[in-house]
Structure 1
Amino acid sequence: MTTDITLLEQEIMSDIDEREELMSRVRLLYIRYGFSEQDEHLFLNYSIPIVYSIWEGFVQTSFQIYIRELNKELTRLELNIDSVCEPILVYHMESTFRQFKQYPNPKSDEDKPKIVKKKVDFFNALGLFYKSNTLQIHPNINTESNVGFNVLNKILNDFNLAKIPTHENNYSLKDELGKLLQIRNAVAHGQKSSIVVNREDLERAIKVVDKLMDLVFERIKTGFIEKSYLK
């Protein structure tokens, strides 16, 4: 157990260090190269999507590391679906069997044979799943390409981990992350004239990502140590 939690900590901490270093380089780039006012404006606009990609990449990577370590524990302890907590079971079932979210139905008579086969395959796979001796949690993390506050807490809830509060010491994590997403989405959708990004916006974006990475890491580590993945 000590080895597993140490490996989990080391990998996620290493990932955080790399992302913090990258954000530091982004922060100093326009200063180091003495951009003109026009170039600085262009750089700042597109620096926000970079910071967002660092954030979303962290969420994907940290939870994939967590799932991998959980699967090792489930295999070691020979645990099946009756042993894991309900949120993780629901997450796994919906990730593995997409039919739970969109059940196939024929649109025409010509479609019926194909749909019947899909349904048979689905029920066969479901039967094998329930007969399996151990559970291996599906590694897919659905960030919805928009990891705002609600999506983040939904992912944490999927793994039975403590949600992140909207505020921390009078600092609004929710509002600051919302601001980051607002600018990122505007730039990503080509709405250049609707936004003006300044140095303060970049600093705020980096600050909230720094804080949230640490908070997510704390919850993953606590969940693994306290075995919150079990019933």
Structure 2
Amino acid sequence: MANNPTLLEQEIMSDIEERRELMSRIKALCPRYNFSSEDEELFLNYSIPIVYSIWEGFIQTYFQIYIRELNKLNLNINNICHSILIYHIESEFPQFKQYPEKDKLIRKVNFFEKLGQFYQCNTLEISPKVNTESNVGFKVLNRILTDFNLETIPEYPEPQYSLRDDLDKFLLKIRNSVAHGQNSIVVKREDLERAIKLVERLMDLVFERIKTGFTNNSYFRQ
């Protein structure tokens, strides 16, 4: 049941480079085309939701790649770590969070039949559904890492710098304000550069954790 971290790393590194290139092109648009002040303000305001979409898309793609690699290992409910098992069960059986109320008997029977089949399977096909809650802030990010038994990211990766604030109070705040039509937000070129550097940093931090976790077989039950 040996894993191959090299293939996983190559695919994720390729994805990261594509996203870096895309963000670099976005950053270059203002100086390249010499926008009018009105057009530049419009572009910069909507550039932040684009950068955020690159970030959330990375998380979705990244963990789907990871799940696909885990599914190649023929893991089962007896040897997979508890956190991934719980993630999978809650993804596949939402009834655990919201027990059937309408047509109770039929839906309950279907639920328990499906559950019985699940516990009889020899290998576990981990669900590729990654719940980002449409807002991959600091709390959601660490919740996803925890779901897959990977090391969480510290709020203060260096003294006097809060990664939580940079992600939640800067990137997410601007993205949500623009998405909700608030016109009071004014984004400058340095804000776009800050958002891009943040996403690049986050991608590296997440990549390091998934690479280490896969290499160290953190998906196995201890």
One-letter identity of the residue aligned with 2:80: V
Percent identity for Structure 1 against Structure 2: 68
Shift of 1:82: 1.2
Q: 1:3 to 1:99 in 2, by over 3 A?
A: closer
Q: Find out whether 1:123 has 2:112 as its counterpart.
A: yes
Unaligned runs of 5+ in 1: 107-113
What is the CA–CA distance in structure 1 between the aligned matches of 2:104 and 2:182, rounded to whole Å?
A: 42
One-letter identity of the residue aligned with 2:63: F
1:136 alignment counterpart: 125
- TM-score when scaled to structure 2? 0.96
Q: 1:42-191 maps to which residues of 2 (within 5 A)?
A: 42-73=42-73, 75=74, 79-106=75-102, 114-170=103-159, 171-178=161-168, 179-191=170-182
One-letter identity of the residue aligned with 1:120: V
One-letter identity of the residue aligned with 2:196: I
Shift of 1:3: 7.2
Unaligned runs of 5+ in 2: none
Deviations 1:124-146 (A, max 9, x none): 00000001111111110000000
Shift of 1:167: 1.6
Q: How many correspondences in the alignment?
A: 219
* Aligned-pair Cα RMSD in Å: 1.2
One-letter identity of the residue aligned with 2:114: A
Q: Secondary structure at the match of 1:197?
A: coil
2:31 alignment counterpart: 31
What is the CA–CA distance in structure 2 between the aligned matches of 1:134 and 1:183, rounded to whole Å?
A: 44
What is the CA–CA distance in structure 1 between the aligned matches of 2:76 and 2:70, rounded to whole Å?
A: 12
One-letter identity of the residue aligned with 2:172: L
What is the CA–CA distance in structure 1 between the aligned matches of 2:49 and 2:43, rounded to whole Å?
A: 11
Q: Secondary structure at the match of 1:168?
A: coil
Q: Secondary structure at the match of 1:191?
A: coil
What is the CA–CA distance in structure 1 between the aligned matches of 2:20 and 2:76, rounded to whole Å?
A: 38
- TM-score when scaled to structure 1? 0.92
Deviations 1:74-103 (A, max 9, x none): x2xxx3101111111110000000101111
